[in-house]
Amino acid sequence: MSKSKTVLITGGTGNIGSQLVSDLLKDNYQVVTTSHSDNNITKLKYQFNDHCQDGSLHVINVDLEEKDFAQQIVTYLEKNSLQIQTLVNNARNTNYLKIDQNNEINRTNWVGEFLLDVVVAYELAMALINLEKSKLNNIINISSIYGMVAPTPQLYNDFEKESPINYGVAKAALIQLTRELAIRLADKNIRVNSISYGGVEGRTDEDFKKRYGQFCPAGRMLKREEVYGAISFLLSEASSGMTGHNLVVDGGWTTW
């Protein structure tokens, strides 16, 4: 595969994002990603130094919560003659998942989670679509099983303190955004799909992993290297007939 296809993935330095960047590069895609952490950007560039040098990886330092974030990204793309074929909305800010002493989510965290999950995904898609010579034909939104079903209280040591309600509500909204955009962008030949992942290893201890396995038909959490398969499929022509779909990759979690 030649590097004729360019993928923009937001949040490319996180647990899932960095894995996807790695897998996309291995699959010979040109990758553009975003982060607002100087430290994480430095680590990513060091890890993929050769790809940065040959132009197959571009990392944009941008705060997605700024009102002009989309224009900052567009300006970078135009300056570097980059044309995006696929957008993967993956950005996260775990600070918005903090629960206060009353076991509630404050308004700032509600708004922040919804902004990154839904509003930013919409605004960035529109900015790329409205480019004069837009090549965008594929949008993939990263959602979660908690956008489909409510959490299982028994999974947590302290359910009220460990399971933020705004996470699942925002992910559910992202799935609905996927359906809405699939309809509204169909006449532009742009496919829009989402992926709802189950729990992915990387930020949990062994006790949590064991409890998770008891509630999942597969008996375990997803491995980081298992995340890319669904992305690869939605990037390929094998999925050309799919739009408005929420692809579930959860080891069977939502079947029970």
Domain residue ranges in the chain: 6-255
pLDDT digits (tens, 9 = 90+) for 123-169: 999 999 999 999 999 999 999 999 999 999 999 999 999 999 999 99
Instruction: Fold for 6-255, please state it.
Output: Rossmann fold (3.40.50)
Q: Is 167 a catalytic residue?
A: yes
State yes or no: pLDDT of 233 exceeds 80. yes
State yes or no: pLDDT of 1 exceeds 50. no
**pTM, to two decimals:** 0.96
Q: Which of 29, 96, 146, 167 is catalytic?
A: 167
Decide: 144 and 197 in contact? Cβ < 8 Å.
Answer: yes
Question: Using H for helix, E for strand and C for coil, what is the string for 167-196?
Answer: HHHHHHHHHHHHHHHHHHCHHHCCEEEEEE
Q: Is 144 a catalytic residue?
A: yes
Cβ within 8 Å of residue 167, ≥6 positions away: 97, 113, 144, 146
Helices (H) and strands (E) in the chain — how many of each?
A: 10, 7
Q: What mean pLDDT comes out for the span 64-80?
A: 98
Decide: 15 and 203 in contact? Cβ < 8 Å.
Answer: yes
Q: Which of 144, 194, 196, 239 is catalytic?
A: 144
Q: Which of 18, 96, 143, 171 is catalytic?
A: 171
Decide: 83 and 51 in contact? Cβ < 8 Å.
Answer: no
Q: Is 26 a catalytic residue?
A: no
Task: Cite the DSSP H helix spans in the chain.
Answer: 15-26, 38-47, 49-53, 69-79, 107-114, 120-129, 159-162, 165-184, 206-214, 228-235
